[in-house]
Amino acid sequence: MKDPRLRQFAEVLVDYSARVQKGDVVLISCAGTEGAPLVKELYALCLERGAKYVEYEFTIPDINRYFYNLASAEQLSYFPQHKLDFMKQADVYIGLTAADNSMVMAKAKQSSMIAWSKVVRPIIDQRVKHTRWVITRYPTQSAAQEARMSLDEYEDYLFAACCMDWEEESRKQDALKACVDAADRVRIKASDTDLSFSIKGLPGIKCDGRLNIPDGEVFTAPVRNSVQGYITYNCPTVYQGKEFNNIRLEFENGRIVRANSPGMDEELNRILDTDDGARYVGEFAIGVNPKITVPMRNILFDEKIFGSIHFTPGQAYDECDNGNRSAVHWDMVKILAGDGELWFDDILIQKDGLFVHEPLLGLNPEV
């Protein structure tokens, strides 16, 4: 029997996030075949809303792994112009991942993955800059296992985090955006973390369900050369098919000068050496989704954990551009709940994962 929450989920993605309307060209892209039930709902709903053409595609990560491991230099440098041509026709892009194995790329050739990410960057840039796009996840047994949950528990968790009143959440985020807009200096103090930087002149951007589902963060970016100090992240992070834990970064004048992760130092530094911008930070964000409280080894969820921050080596977003350019954008998450302070200038904004600054108290989860 079809889960009725799928229709609700599709309505959030189509009506609120992507705002599909009559005459749109829509691309629905699913990594993994298990997401077919949601693709069906999305496809039907886009047609109901009057889209003039709806394309859907399924990619198989296990097949992509063959490309990374077997492709020659010539094959890795070939640009798929047809994909860019279609993306230029698209008004809406809805992307979902329905992975049956989050570690499928763990042994894939990392240098090929890095090279390919540079080649296809123009397609991603076209999508990000010129479509109404949204990215989400579909609940699978693999994702549930990564989250240390049963599939039923994971489905409940995912649907609760995704099917929210996003208009109300957006209104709540206004106060945090105002604080970010007014701030100059930021300091984060927690276990093995003492980090300071400036965000002066860089706006706060609300993430209120338009681009990612689940959503729930307000982000900005540090002044590129202002970051000083060190941070140790306490959320596991999976990047290019490899899991990293307890990443510790040290900064001098904005640049990562030392980077460690137990047993993964070489892999970590290889990614950070992708290009010069990978050792500078392109995003600083505060997670505020009240339904996301524990790490799930899935960055789309983990970066939204209430009481967390993420501090991201690599590419800056156009909406808040500090000038950093990179093929890398690696959201690394630190949970401050129970252990941490967040300061804007001389004002304590958040302590132990809860907002203590009076204008922001409405963001705290209801008890």
What pLDDT was estimated at residue 241? 79
How many angstroms separate the CA atoms of 239 and 327, rounded? 13
Each residue of 187-226: pLDDT tens digit? 999 999 999 999 999 999 999 999 889 999 999 999 999 9
Average pLDDT value over all residues in the chain: 94
What pLDDT was estimated at residue 367? 62
| pTM for the full predicted model | 0.82
Q: How confident is the model at residue 183 (pLDDT cuts 50, 70, 90)?
A: very high
Residue 29 corresponds to which tokens in the numbers above?
Answer: 């892209």
Percent of the chain whose predicted confidence (pLDDT) is above 90: 86
The tally of domains found in the chain comes to: 2
Each residue of 109-133: pLDDT tens digit? 989 998 999 999 999 999 999 999 9
Does the structure show a pLDDT above 80 at 1? no
Does the structure show a pLDDT above 70 at 266? yes
Does residue 174 sit in the same domain as residue 318?
yes
Does residue 105 sit in the same domain as residue 178?
no
How many angstroms separate the CA atoms of 158 and 147, rounded? 11
Q: How confident is the model at residue 7 (pLDDT cuts 50, 70, 90)?
A: very high
Does residue 47 sit in the same domain as residue 195?
no
Does residue 142 sit in the same domain as residue 251?
no
Does the structure show a pLDDT above 90 at 366? no
Does residue 172 sit in the same domain as residue 140?
no
How many angstroms separate the CA atoms of 20 and 41, rounded? 14
Does residue 182 sit in the same domain as residue 217?
yes
Q: Give 254's contacts (C-beta < 8 A, 6+ positions apart).
A: 197, 222, 223, 224, 225, 226, 227, 280, 281
Residue 30: phi and psi, rounded to 5, are -125, 125
CATH number at residue 61: 3.40.1830.10
Average pLDDT over residues 141-151: 89
Does residue 8 sit in the same domain as residue 105?
yes
Does residue 159 sit in the same domain as residue 84?
yes
Q: How confident is the model at residue 103 (pLDDT cuts 50, 70, 90)?
A: confident
Q: What residues form DSSP beta bridges with 128?
A: none
Sequence letter at residue 255: R
Last residue of a domain, one of 132, 163, 194: 163
Which range of residues forms the domain containing residue 112?
Answer: 4-163
